[in-house]
Chains A and B, each alone.
Chain A
Amino acid sequence: MRLPRPEELISTVNLKKTPPKWWMDLKAEFKPGFYCYGAKGKNLAYVDFPNARDWSPTEEDWKLPEDWKRIVIEGIRQRIERFRTFHIFMDICVRCGACADKCHFFLGTGDPKNMPVLRAELLRSVYRRYFTSGGKIFGRFGGARDLELDVLKELWYYFYQCTECRRCSLFCPYGIDTAEITIMGRELMNLLGLNTDWISGPVANCYRTGNHLGIEPHTMKSTLEFLCDDIETITGIRIDPPINKKGAEILWVEPSGDLFAVPGVYVAMGTLMLFHEIGLDYTWSTYASEGGNFGYFTSLEMAKRLHSKIYEEAKRLKVKWILGGECGHMWRVWHQYHDTWFGPIDFLEEPVSPITGTKFEHAKSTKIVHISEFTADLIRHGVLKFDKSRNDNFIVTFHDSCNVSRGMGMFEEPRYIIKSVCNHFYEMPDETIREQTFCCGGGSGLNAGEIMELRMRGGFPRANAVRYVHEKFGVNMLACICAIDRAQLPPLMEYWVPQVRVCGVTELVANALIMKGEKERTMNLRMEPLPGKEGQ
């Protein structure tokens, strides 16, 4: 017997050329590192999701209800009748391929089914088979296929490899939005109880305790106190954060990740310091203790159920308006869905900054303002005093969060803030920022530990741009305004550009902020020595 040569062994193409299979003939292969663990039954049951049971994607038997096909097909029917987006997106794609190389998962992997067009075709083929005359008559040649178990598994596999970042929709000549298709696809999966542990756990927690992490009220209070202890050590100022305070002017809601994970906690600390310094009459809420919304990664209905608490709490506490923290999908939901779900919001007042008197007319209907809008306005009016040199150890670049970028369009505010509080700021290349920003690779509930490989390759285009500015300008700090970024970007940087760390914008603000009555600061919020104070 002859041993094969190494290049014969590894080359899949040149030497053993087989006719490539069409995508409909390839089953999805479940490889570790590429799919999330299945949801636990108890978490699904707690929020009344159908078919609640423990399950695992790799097991042959997915423990589906007997009439699962009918459920999915009925689900598609209902959604095309309810969503013009979905209906049109199922019909008009011309497969021009403009989106193909815009997806960070395709860029990072080369898996053809990660091209947005093909990800959508996976579902479109089923739609054609059951809802169009062409698909019914011509079958495969009309681009249609039967809904089989393998097809279902493939749909699940690839809809949980999309972070709903909408970069493809920017380049589509018809505005076809894969995020919308993924949202519908995941809704269909949830009709069968096909959720992931990483998403369903936070959803159940959020329903019960008001936040994804399951922080109970007393724990939230002690966490805030811990943070205030650190602030006192750094600045000498003791802050007493208002919690569930009735009659406060503003309700403050932020992603709960900022209360428990590094580097999010520095953002929470920064916020406490900022609000204290300007003497803002505001309150935290233990009940509305989550601005983010993992429900959005399961179904729109669940998203609405989770966020109902925010306006309910605003009403109960009789605040005038709501201020929201740094978060990505949270702002997509707040900005594009809240008013439709919960409006008209007639029990709150049009937001006016109590410090500067600026009327936030663009938020006159929802009564919710973004912290970056609020802070930029403060800075513009000269309310805050800064010592920019305190951030001199940081050479900063800014990562635009997908949802704030392509679901809202806030690009200038965070940049204005960063430039006001830092001396060293450099942009990444144009085709990787602002509306063309690359996803961090962990959005839409895909920052589970078990899919680290997927996250690393999905985040590669982003990391690659960071590395460029690191090498060119010595950038060592990646600023962002999203809690998922703050969870996903640190490992991403560790793998691709270990010299770069991650922070929230408000952390930089608080570092530079000169507070009334503060002692001479020697360290930043991370308790690292300030530039020039290394010996102390």
Chain B
Amino acid sequence: MEIYDLLSKKRNSIIDKCFDLTISTYPEQSRIFLRERKRQFTNPVGYTLYHGIERIIDKIIAQESLENFIPPLEEIIRVRAVQDFIPSEAVGFIFLIKEAIYSLIYKEAKYNELMDLLSRIDSLALLAFDIFMKYREKIYDMKARELRDRTWWILKKYNIISEIDDSILEK
């Protein structure tokens, strides 16, 4: 289909636009810093977002199957799942990808092809939500497990170790 040729021609500007839009969901004061996407170790968030988006766009262009999108989506969503976002914000960057693609190619693309592409991107949003839930659940799982793994807690239950209680305090 012609639209994918069009996409691959505009690959770099699409990626940059997606990245800029995604960065714009962060507080203004940190944006300049996050936009610095080359410092892999001293700016891991900017780096991860950029490369996740890059891989997603490439997979869209290559028309890969849905499950191939899981790794790059996980990269991004795993970061956003522990940041200061509500669920809709955390996964909503998919719509920013859609917006970026639309705004850059709508003039040249055929209507039917464009509609088809955009509705395919919608399915990524559903996938993203599944991934978000997976990592949120992982957080809660880790919270619960940590409580269990901290053996002292169990030992305390069995009266092997003790806690300050009121009777000790009174002495």
Interface residues of A (CB under 8 A from B): 5-7, 9-14, 20, 31, 33-34, 42-43, 45-46, 100-101, 106-112, 201, 204-205, 208-209, 213-216, 219, 222, 260-262, 429, 431-432, 449-450, 452-454, 456-457, 460-461, 464-465, 468, 487, 491, 494-496
What B residues does A461 contact at CB under 8 A? 41-42, 44
The residue in chain A whose Cβ has the minimal distance to the Cβ of B139 is A452
Within the complex, the shortest CB–CB distance from A501 to chain B, in Å, comes to 13
Number of residues on chain B facing chain A (CB within 8 A)? 55
B 22-37 to A, binary, CB cutoff 8 A, 1 in contact else 0: 0011111110011000
Contact A261 B164 (CB under 8 A): no
Q: Which of B44, B48, B98 has the most CB of A within 10 A?
A: B44
Partner of B142, one of A45, A106, A452: A452
User: Does B63 interact with chain A (Cβ within 8 Å)?
Assistant: no
Q: Which of A43, A110, A431, A496 has the most CB of B within 10 A?
A: A110
Within the complex, the shortest CB–CB distance from A157 to chain B, in Å, comes to 13
Besides A464-B48, A487-B150, 6 new A-B residue pairs in contact (Cβ under 8 A), listed by A number: A9-B88, A11-B21, A219-B161, A454-B82, A464-B47, A491-B145
User: Does B93 interact with chain A (Cβ within 8 Å)?
Assistant: yes
Contact B138 A495 (CB under 8 A): yes
- Tell me the residues in window 62-85 of chain B with beta carbons closer than 8 Å to chain A beta carbons: 78-79, 82-84
The answer to whether residues A11 and B96 also contact, given A42-B165, A42-B169, A110-B26 and a CB cut-off of 8 A, is yes
The residue in chain B whose Cβ has the minimal distance to the Cβ of A428 is B41
Contact A43 B164 (CB under 8 A): yes
How far apart are the CA atoms of A495 and B78 in the complex, in Å? Answer: 8
User: Does B13 interact with chain A (Cβ within 8 Å)?
Assistant: no
What A residues does B146 contact at CB under 8 A? 449, 452, 491
The residue in chain B whose Cβ has the minimal distance to the Cβ of A6 is B95
What A residues does B16 contact at CB under 8 A? none
6 cross-chain pairs, A with B, having the tightest CB-CB distances, nearest first: A10-B92, A110-B30, A6-B95, A464-B44, A112-B29, A456-B82
What B residues does A9 contact at CB under 8 A? 88, 92
User: Does B116 interact with chain A (Cβ within 8 Å)?
Assistant: no
Contact A101 B26 (CB under 8 A): no
How far apart are the CA atoms of A14 and B24 in the complex, in Å? Answer: 7
Within the complex, the shortest CB–CB distance from B84 to chain A, in Å, comes to 6
What B residues does A260 contact at CB under 8 A? 150-152, 155
The residue in chain B whose Cβ has the minimal distance to the Cβ of A34 is B84
How far apart are the CA atoms of A140 and B27 in the complex, in Å? Answer: 23
What A residues does B156 contact at CB under 8 A? 214
What A residues does B123 contact at CB under 8 A? none
Contact A7 B139 (CB under 8 A): no
Q: Which of A6, A100, A262, A460 has the most CB of B within 10 A?
A: A6
What A residues does B43 contact at CB under 8 A? 101, 107
The answer to whether residues A110 and B143 also contact, given A46-B164, A219-B161 and a CB cut-off of 8 A, is no
What A residues does B151 contact at CB under 8 A? 260-262
User: Does B108 interact with chain A (Cβ within 8 Å)?
Assistant: no
The answer to whether residues A262 and B149 also contact, given A12-B25, A112-B27, A112-B30 and a CB cut-off of 8 A, is yes
Contact B166 A11 (CB under 8 A): no
- Tell me the residues in window 146-171 of chain B with beta carbons closer than 8 Å to chain A beta carbons: 146-147, 149-152, 155-156, 160-166, 168-169
